[in-house]
Structure 1
Amino acid sequence: MSSVKELVESKCLSSVPSNYICLENPEDSILNYETDNIPTIDFSQLTSSNPSVRSKAIKQLGDACRDWGFFMLINHGVSEILRDEVIRTSQGFFDLTEKEKMEHAGRNLFDPIRYGTSFNVTVDKTLFWRDYLKCHVHPHFNAPSKPPGFSQTLEEYITKGRELVEELLEGISLSLGLEENFIHKRMNLDLGSQLLVINCYPPCPNPELVMGLPAHTDHGLLTLLMQNELGGLQIQHNGKWIPVHPLPNSFLINTGDHMEILTNGKYKSVVHRAVANTKATRISVGTAHGPKLDTIVGPAPELVGDDNTASYRAIKYSDYIELQQNHELDGKSCLDRIRI
């Protein structure tokens, strides 16, 4: 299966090949919110030594998880130099020859490093305008050795990202009325799963006919995302698609299915999608943070009661990932499979 980047570079494309044409129109039901309508969390306030400031930030964090499942994170302390280097070296990976990239064309879902195209070409009825690199980076770090410096840059970046997410999960635990380290202990995060997904969306001659990634939710607890200067992420809120325009030097954070399962639906995973453009290649770098792969996750007993019965059956995290990856991406269809 050729990559989208190879397809674009090998032909002077004037139109999209028929096997990429998607019936879902990315322009349907777009509601252009201003950027400041999307919740913004100030990380420096969330970690403040002032109890009043921190308490207010924790409430804002809980509100964002409950009402949106999505927020921008500012003042996070990750240097712009490092962020830029991650984007630059990620682009450098996709600029390698197809032969070099195919050295990482893993066939198995849990291969340490896996390069590919679309989502799952064995089940996708329509191919998506997207190439990807997936690396399992925790509890064991894995990354390609090319281009030079790529692995070292990623290792520094994902370590800082994990520290941010651990702090966010502490705030989320408190926002739920639980002890600060509740999620950390329950999900065994010291050995938790951290999956790095780098997406490459090459320019497309007919972006209205294709989808970078269709409407879906992520499988983990939280996903931390950054991207180059090109937009393309859209989130679903109150039945409308909202294009996301990130604040400078911010991270985008979204809740995943296992946050919804663990909180018994109090905090829901957010449906989102990626669209293509005609201008240039969009690079996004997402890190999905979840429990240890063999952890069985169900609604926390502390959040279940007589008037709030369990809404999801418990499932091993690795089994849930397989369930999602072996079916077409389609909104919350994977979560619906374990809904009681």
Structure 2
Amino acid sequence: MEDERDHDTISSSPPSLSKQLAGTTLGGSADVPVVDLSVSDEDFLVHEVVKASEEWGIFQVVNHGIPEELMHQLQVVGKQFFDLPEAEKEIVAKDGDFEGYKRKYLGGINNWDQHLFHRLSPPSIINYKYWPKNPPQYREVTEEYTKHMKRLTEKILGWLSEGLGLPREAFTQSIGGETAEYVLRVNFYPPTQDSELVIGAAAHSDMGAIALLLPNEVPGLQAFKDEQWLDLNYINSAVVVIIGDQLMRMTNGRFKNVLHRAKTDKERLRISWPVFVAPRADMSVGPLPELTGDENPPKFETLIYNDYIDQKINGWALEDLPVY
């Protein structure tokens, strides 16, 4: 989703600049699947999330159990941070790591945003120096939101596992169980009159396993399907679920690692809160043996996740991708 490290080129290179900027309005708003998690028929939920992951690689979930007030609080403290004077935001600025605050970067295409990026879980990888102390409620709200994100992620991964005939915990364990890494990026896209030329986040697929994104009410997220860019409809309190490269690779290509991007708006501020879920850097990830065989041989090499990241970054076409 709209992040700094989580992109894919090993399996699907981003479109050229001309393709990224073409077809912005083709197809209009997308009928991206929406799954109501309040449905009591669990077999139905399994079917719906698997179908969405196979056909789209992206879907929205509603009635997911995350308190609406908590989601609102997360949005409030995020907006309050970006409203601070630049000097206060610089207190948590990047200093060599991918974590921290960064302001308006321009790369091979006109990417434009401000963002805050930091780890959420497991506790052993958290560095609170990158968590804002102002607003004062930031840490409390974000930690509570993380608990709900982890529960929802494990539910979705469980349904996806069962839908492929695997034990419920298969995908969760394949990305490390309690050691799986959760990272938050708060994207802040100011209004720009050049919204047709300035892309908030370049076309990419996510390097990790899965991402769960909370948007504000300003549309901007687009998915690439059937050779066109499609706008996602905004649904109040919905969470956008995005399948990443590692789930695509573990399922031997059965699930799609959707290509997506973010657009700015001419008049309104757009903010989004994606949480990225990925294996530990030292974990081996590849097609699961239960999903391959003589009639379905592995399509992807099993790699240490950190090596996968290196290969992917090295494969990027510099003229098409932002510099980080």
Report the TM-score when normalising by structure 1. 0.81
Q: Which residue of 1 aligns with 2:122?
A: 139
Q: Which residue of 1 aligns with 2:144?
A: 156
Q: Deviations over 1:133-161 (max 9, x none)?
A: 11111112442222221111111111101
Q: Is the 8 A contact 1:216 1:329 kept in 2?
A: no
Return 5+ residue gaps in structure 2 as ranges. 1-16
1:18-97 equivalences in 2 (<5 Å): 26=21, 28=23, 30-33=25-28, 37-45=31-39, 48=40, 53-97=41-85
How far, CA to CA, are the matches of 1:319 and 1:72 in structure 2? 31
How far, CA to CA, are the matches of 1:311 and 1:117 in structure 2? 39
How far, CA to CA, are the matches of 1:107 and 1:326 in structure 2? 22
Could you say what secondary structure the match of 1:312 adopts?
Answer: coil
How far, CA to CA, are the matches of 2:315 and 2:218 in structure 1? 29
Q: 1:329 to 1:224 in 2, by over 3 A?
A: farther
Picking from 123, 129, 140, the partner of 2:112 is 129
1:162-311 equivalences in 2 (<5 Å): 162-311=150-299
- Letter matched to residue 302 of structure 1: E
Q: 1:88 to 1:108 in 2, by over 3 A?
A: same
Q: Is the 8 A contact 2:74 2:141 kept in 1?
A: yes
Deviates more, 1:319-328 or 1:58-67: 319-328
CA displacement at 1:257 relative to structure 2:
0.5
Question: Identity, % of aligned pairs?
Answer: 30
Q: 1:327 to 1:281 in 2, by over 3 A?
A: farther
- Letter matched to residue 132 of structure 1: H
Deviates more, 1:82-91 or 1:143-152: 143-152
CA displacement at 1:231 relative to structure 2:
0.6
Root mean square deviation of aligned Cα: 2.3
| Structure with greater Cα Rg | 1
Q: Deviations over 1:170-228 (max 9, x none)?
A: 00000111111111222212111101011000010211121111110011111100111
How far, CA to CA, are the matches of 1:268 and 1:233 in structure 2? 17
Q: 1:149 to 1:323 in 2, by over 3 A?
A: farther
CA displacement at 1:63 relative to structure 2:
0.4
How far, CA to CA, are the matches of 2:116 and 2:68 in structure 1? 22
Q: Is the 8 A contact 1:134 1:197 kept in 2?
A: yes
Tell me whether 1:319 sits opposite 2:307 in the alignment. yes
Q: Deviations over 1:274-329 (max 9, x none)?
A: 11111121100000111223211111111111122211112222333345557758
Greater relative contact order (CA < 8 Å, ≥ 6 in sequence): 2
Could you say what secondary structure the match of 1:212 adopts?
Answer: strand
Q: Is the 8 A contact 1:109 1:322 kept in 2?
A: no
Q: Which residue of 1 aligns with 2:12?
A: none
Report the TM-score when normalising by structure 2. 0.85
How far, CA to CA, are the matches of 1:329 and 1:58 in structure 2? 37
How far, CA to CA, are the matches of 1:240 and 1:30 in structure 2? 9
Picking from 101, 112, 121, the partner of 1:115 is 101
CA displacement at 1:33 relative to structure 2:
5.0
Return 5+ residue gaps in structure 1 as ranges. 1-21, 334-340
Could you say what secondary structure the match of 1:132 adopts?
Answer: strand
